[in-house]
């Protein structure tokens, strides 16, 4: 069924028809076909559909349809996302879809929480992380009692231990008895469904494809690298054989992200790194290096000038030790902006290779990514599905390469099963390994470095 038939059937507003046409969306994706009518009819749903299959539009479209017009009557819809990057992307998507209609779509940032008078803030759709909304409710008396729609995007992540209390606080604050709540993710374990059922009204389960499976558009490959050292060799070899940027490389933690960046930064590849906490000397060195390569283009003019001039003449160590307050706050801004820039530059094709932790493994929509490399084995099958789902989006094809060593054997079968289910070749021995209980796989790994180790006398 093509998009205009669907839009006619739901008496879609003209601005939406125009915006969908501008975005080039010719027909609804399977999840949109199923979830949109449900939400429009006021039913709640748990939706599970593959990565890159258009879940964002599946919940934003019905919200815009139902809200009809902008109002100054307090917050009417809340979308929770597990990371700021994803919240920012979702806010951008909402605005693109609402273009031409004066809806108040707000991304709740730290600055906004500090500065806004929530009693006067016009807001139709509020988008943020559970933490920010929770703080705004507790400290700034954000009133969510009129919220008509609450969406938990990447809901299985939101129900993980570190976030569930904050999510609970937001759910409680959205006290309107007529509220419609919905959950969306590419992975929805039964345990999360059970938990979610306790807060939902007779929700309908919508599953597209096989539940908890990888995107069919991604060609997946496992490579045994022997050791940590072998991984670096395997990576360099794969670059030599065929470098097909943009490439996204996932590692286990921020230290490893920085170490891998240090190994690759002098190669002839425009590389960058993103993780949850950009804040030390190495980060400053990276800013200096990127400045010299001209990868600095997204900063606003007022920030760009002082940062550029400081970074260009900087000895990074003396910079980090600077006692000037203004410089510290400037640095803080740099790091926040740099984290966003790393993502934006990669999105815009200014960097070819982005080294990342799982902070951008979920939801981020990088349309053109050709290859995802799991330099470090993911910590669960769900993490694997989301990481490799950064490629093969919106009907395009992509490739995923996962390096492993003996240390990864305990989790190998889980990943091999996901690969087999999506029709990829898997070594037989991986499928014969013992089944592991659910537990995050984070083995100790030797540092990533080719520098010779000088032994102490």
Least separation in angstroms between CB 23 and ligand ATP: 6
Alpha-carbon gap, residue 443 to 161, rounded angstroms = 20
DSSP structure string for 48-86? E--TTS-HHHHHHHHHHHHH-S--SSS--EEEE-SSHHH
Least separation in angstroms between CB 93 and ligand ATP: 7
Least separation in angstroms between CB 339 and ligand ATP: 19
Which CB sits closer to ligand ATP, 26 or 442? 26
Least separation in angstroms between CB 412 and ligand ATP: 24
Tracing tokens 């976030």 back to the chain, one arrives at: 163
Which CB sits closer to ligand ATP, 26 or 110? 26
Tracing tokens 């001209």 back to the chain, one arrives at: 294
Which CB sits closer to ligand ATP, 339 or 362? 362
CB 174 within 8 A of CB 180: no
Measured CA angle at 374 (ends 369, 375), to 5 deg: 120
Which CB sits closer to ligand ATP, 293 or 396? 396
| Token digits of residue 36 | 């949109």
Alpha-carbon gap, residue 193 to 212, rounded angstroms = 13
Least separation in angstroms between CB 45 and ligand ATP: 14
For 431-454, give one letter per residue: b (16+ CB within 10 A) or e.
Answer: eeeeeeeeeebeeebeebeeeeee
Least separation in angstroms between CB 367 and ligand ATP: 5
Which CB sits closer to ligand ATP, 54 or 378? 54
Which stretches of the chain bind ligand ATP, using CB under 6 A?
25, 28-29, 32, 49, 51-57, 186, 363, 365, 367, 389, 393-394
Least separation in angstroms between CB 287 and ligand ATP: 29
Which CB sits closer to ligand ATP, 316 or 389? 389
C-alpha atoms less than 13 angstroms from C-alpha of 23 in its C-beta half-sphere: 21
- State the Rg of the chain over Cα: 23
CA distances from 88 to 262, 280, 323, 363 (A): 28, 24, 33, 11
Which CB sits closer to ligand ATP, 49 or 355? 49
| Token digits of residue 30 | 């399977």
Which CB sits closer to ligand ATP, 53 or 351? 53
Least separation in angstroms between CB 187 and ligand ATP: 9
Which CB sits closer to ligand ATP, 55 or 76? 55
Which DSSP category does 265 fall into? T
Per DSSP, the three-state class of 182 is strand
Least separation in angstroms between CB 61 and ligand ATP: 9
Alpha-carbon gap, residue 213 to 220, rounded angstroms = 13
Alpha-carbon gap, residue 25 to 260, rounded angstroms = 38
Least separation in angstroms between CB 58 and ligand ATP: 7
Least separation in angstroms between CB 29 and ligand ATP: 5
CA distances from 201 to 182, 190, 338 (A): 10, 17, 42
Measured CA angle at 129 (ends 438, 386), to 5 deg: 40
Which CB sits closer to ligand ATP, 53 or 290? 53
Alpha-carbon gap, residue 425 to 62, rounded angstroms = 39
Give percent helix, percent strand, percent coil of the chain, each to the nearest 5: 45, 15, 40
Which CB sits closer to ligand ATP, 97 or 295? 97
């Amino acid at each position: 069924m093509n998009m205009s038939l669907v839009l006619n059937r739901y008496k879609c507003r003209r601005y939406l028809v125009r915006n969908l046409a501008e975005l080039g969306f010719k027909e609804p994706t399977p999840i949109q076909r199923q979830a949109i009518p449900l939400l429009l009819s006021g039913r709640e749903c748990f939706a599970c559909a593959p990565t890159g299959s258009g879940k964002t539009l599946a919940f934003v479209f019905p919200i815009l349809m139902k809200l009809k017009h902008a109002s100054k009557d307090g917050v009417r819809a809340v979308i929770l996302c597990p990371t700021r990057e994803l919240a920012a992307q979702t806010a951008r998507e909402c605005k693109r879809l609402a273009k031409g209609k004066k809806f108040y779509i707000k991304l709740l940032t730290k600055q906004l929480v500090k500065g806004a008078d929530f009693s006067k803030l016009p807001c139709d759709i509020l988008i943020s992380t559970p933490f920010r909304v929770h703080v705004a409710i507790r400290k700034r008396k954000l009133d969510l009692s009129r919220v008509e729609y609450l969406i938990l995007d990447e809901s299985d992540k939101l129900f993980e231990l570190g976030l569930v209390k904050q999510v609970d606080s937001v759910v409680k604050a959205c006290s309107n008895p007529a509220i419609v709540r919905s959950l969306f993710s590419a992975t929805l374990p039964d345990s999360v469904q059970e938990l979610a059922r306790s807060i939902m009204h007779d929700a309908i389960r919508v599953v597209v494809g096989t539940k908890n499976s990888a995107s069919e558009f991604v060609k997946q490959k496992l490579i045994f690298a022997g050791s940590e050292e072998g991984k670096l060799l395997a990576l360099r070899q794969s670059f030599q054989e065929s470098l097909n940027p943009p490439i996204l490389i996932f590692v286990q933690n921020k230290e490893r992200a920085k170490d891998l960046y240090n190994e690759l930064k002098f190669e002839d590849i425009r590389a960058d790194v993103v993780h949850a906490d950009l804040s030390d000397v190495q980060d400053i060195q990276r800013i200096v290096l990127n400045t010299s390569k001209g990868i600095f283009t997204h900063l606003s003019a007022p920030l760009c000038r002082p940062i550029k001039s400081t970074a260009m003449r900087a000895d990074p160590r003396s910079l980090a030790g600077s006692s000037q307050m203004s410089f510290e706050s400037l640095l803080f801004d740099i790091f926040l902006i740099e984290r966003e820039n790393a993502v934006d530059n990669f999105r815009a094709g200014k960097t070819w290779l982005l080294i990342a932790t799982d902070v951008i493994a979920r939801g981020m929509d990088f349309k053109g990514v050709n290859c995802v490399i799991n330099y470090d084995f993911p910590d669960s099958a769900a993490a694997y599905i989301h990481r490799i789902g950064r490629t093969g989006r919106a009907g395009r094809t992509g490739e995923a390469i996962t390096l492993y060593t003996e240390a990864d054997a305990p989790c190998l079968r889980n990943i091999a099963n996901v690969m087999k289910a999506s029709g990829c070749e898997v070594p037989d021995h991986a499928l014969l390994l013992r089944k592991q209980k659910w537990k995050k796989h984070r083995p100790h790994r030797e540092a990533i470095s080719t520098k010779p180790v000088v032994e102490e006398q």
